[in-house]
Amino acid sequence: MVEFTVTILGCGSAKPTLRHHTSSQIVSRLGKLYMIDCGEGTQTQLMRYGFHPGQLENIFISHAHGDHCFGLVGLLSSLSLDKRTTDINIHVPADFVEILKAQIDFFVTHAEFSIRIHPIDCQEPTLIFSDLHFDVTAFPLEHRVPCYGFLFREKQGSRHIIPECIEKYGIPRPEIDRIRGGGDFTTADGRVIPNEVLTTPPDPVRSYAYVSDTRPVMQYAELLQGVDLLYHDATYCEGDEELAYKYDHSTASQAAEFAKACNAGKLLLGHFSSRYETEDCFLECATRYFPNVLLADEGVTVRIVDKKNG
Amino acid sequence: MVEFTVTILGCGSAKPTLRHHTSSQIVSRLGKLYMIDCGEGTQTQLMRYGFHPGQLENIFISHAHGDHCFGLVGLLSSLSLDKRTTDINIHVPADFVEILKAQIDFFVTHAEFSIRIHPIDCQEPTLIFSDLHFDVTAFPLEHRVPCYGFLFREKQGSRHIIPECIEKYGIPRPEIDRIRGGGDFTTADGRVIPNEVLTTPPDPVRSYAYVSDTRPVMQYAELLQGVDLLYHDATYCEGDEELAYKYDHSTASQAAEFAKACNAGKLLLGHFSSRYETEDCFLECATRYFPNVLLADEGVTVRIVDKKNG
């Protein structure tokens, strides 16, 4: 199964602290990097954990609050200083476009690459991006400003050809891709060998969901049904539901209830408020509702495995 | 002599690295804080070195390059989250005002304090700020964009009354401030005691100059004559004069020659390019031209003493 990971660059909330950077993470598949959110200092965090920003071609910003985007113009600026020539795509809520463009025009004046801004503006879950690795669906969350969650779903891979069959049936190399794609094979003497004899099924399609700042959004339990890894806003701990509601966030327990409803493989909690000294309470509360909980922390990499194998 | 210090929060150049943050420093006098420049991550650096941003009322930005200002909106945003109510003054080159205001309007929406932006726009050294502690003079530097140096000069203090004289001449308490201000004292029996008998001179006025990104500016040797501490752009080391010229910066040696011409007390080098593994060469080169050189480093605090006592 190919490498598919999420690395936390920052998992604090509104203000950076000495314990937690503000939000940013890297989704990586087969060495291809995707960034989600870009709080202040993200470019330094990238360096700290050994990521090469040159490999980054897509950045997804959940919403235009500083703790999710204040590092973006600095990162772009540094890419320009690095003499980058590859274009970069930035997927941002539509309300962020104007001020982002203004900043880029003012500060990133010598870029030898294009910065393509893709506004996100949807009321329903919407496919906003697709490449060889992923389909990315944005879904609107419930926060003070337009805010989106992102579902990264792997593209269905090819079937696996059974190595022994190649020799046994004399399959020539040019045929292999067609068979991986589901085709049968006709031998030199005219026998048709059905695909299911020649191949095993493709790897299961894995998925990762990033649920950014939001009140609980139980309406997406179906959209995220069976998600292998679910990152969820857990700004507050159990007992602080009123604060969570007031500021349009969730508690660790609410995140866990949602993970349960989604039948998720694993729950990764983050966006911790600086009001708590440690996050032990978050883990304790969440595991009462859902068994498989991890706390985000800077530098932590979570390997996304098919939830049945997790 | 009252405490007057400069603390380095960041002394790297264009890009933050794992060794150096981008430019920012804190000038402190008797616990009153002034910030010069505010690169990305400055708010975290403030926390790291134990400064309370609530005590900050004036921020001076030398120029609108990201490595000198990308932390500003994040800092203001956090001050707002901290429920600050004291106004803050931001002194910035005029060309930075529009984009700064646009960012503040978009991101700092709930501030219960005023953000007063004071544009700097002068062709000659100009007094831009004055309070109980300092007169601050801005002087235009030679960089790609409008860029200013800042000279912090202490206000002249009072004369010191000689404690023994109070009893000897029967000086009543209400008279003391007047005598400190230079007045003579008339005793109960009508004798006039001249001020110089009653007092010793005020502490010498100390000064600190921040020479931000610039080609050498020997024309300011007179303005900065006798400055007690001189911080100077030393992006490049000796041998890289061509690069320094091309990118409108200085070498460590050029900084040292300037310090010598200024008859400075001490030279503090900073804004180091990330192309050098260490800054040993900077120190070595600079001390060939000027004896009293320090290398800036994050967390370093330099006590500013009268240069005759330094």
Whether the predicted pLDDT of A310 surpasses 60 = no
Closest CA to A77 of B10, B146, B67: B67
The answer to whether residue B67 is catalytic is: yes
The interface pTM score, or ipTM, of the predicted complex is 0.89
How close does chain A come to B15, measured CA to CA in Å? Answer: 6
Dump the DSSP string for B177-222: HHHHTT--EE-TTSPEEPHHHHEEPPPPPPEEEEE-S-S--GGGTT
Whether the predicted pLDDT of B310 surpasses 60 = no
Domain A4-157+203-303 has CATH 3.60.15.10: yes
A-B CB pairs within 8 A amount to: 83
DSSP state of B158: P
Indicate yes or no: CB of A77 within 8 angstroms of CB of B71.
no
Count of CB atoms situated within 10 Å of the CB of B128: 19
Indicate yes or no: CB of A64 within 8 angstroms of CB of B16.
no
How close does chain B come to A105, measured CA to CA in Å? Answer: 10
User: What spatial distance separates the first Cα and last Cα of chain A, rounded to whole Å?
Assistant: 13
Q: How high does pLDDT run on average in chain A?
A: 95
Identify the residue among B23, B65, B70 best suited for mutation to test binding to A, counting A beta carbons within 10 A and taking the highest.
B70
Note the pTM of the prediction, 2 decimals: 0.91
Digit-coded pLDDT (tens) for B45-79: 999 999 999 889 999 999 999 999 999 999 999 99
Question: Element (H or E) spanning A252, and its range?
Answer: helix A252-262
Indicate yes or no: CB of A66 within 8 angstroms of CB of B73.
yes
Digit-coded pLDDT (tens) for A237-282: 988 999 999 999 999 999 999 999 999 999 999 999 999 989 999 9
pLDDT the model gives residue B27: 98
pLDDT the model gives residue A192: 94
Can you give the residue ranges of every domain in chain A?
4-157+203-303, 160-200
How distant, in Å, are the alpha carbons of A48, B121, B132, B195 from that of B199? 58, 42, 22, 6
Q: Which band of pLDDT confidence, cut at 50, 70 and 90, is reported for residue B308?
A: low
Sequence-ordered list of residues with C-beta below 8 angstroms from that of A252, at least 6 positions apart, any chain? A234, A236, A237, A238, A269, A281, A282, A283, A285, A286
Identify the residue among A76, A79, A106, A243 best suited for mutation to test binding to B, counting B beta carbons within 10 A and taking the highest.
A106
Indicate yes or no: CB of B47 within 8 angstroms of CB of A18.
yes
Question: Exactly one of A37, A67, A233, A240 is catalytic; which is it?
Answer: A67
Sequence-ordered list of residues with C-beta below 8 angstroms from that of A191, at least 6 positions apart, any chain? none
Token code pair at residue A225: 């049904």
Question: Exactly one of B67, B213, B233, B240 is catalytic; which is it?
Answer: B67
Identify whether the C-beta of residue A268 lies closer than 8 Å to the C-beta of residue A232. Answer: yes
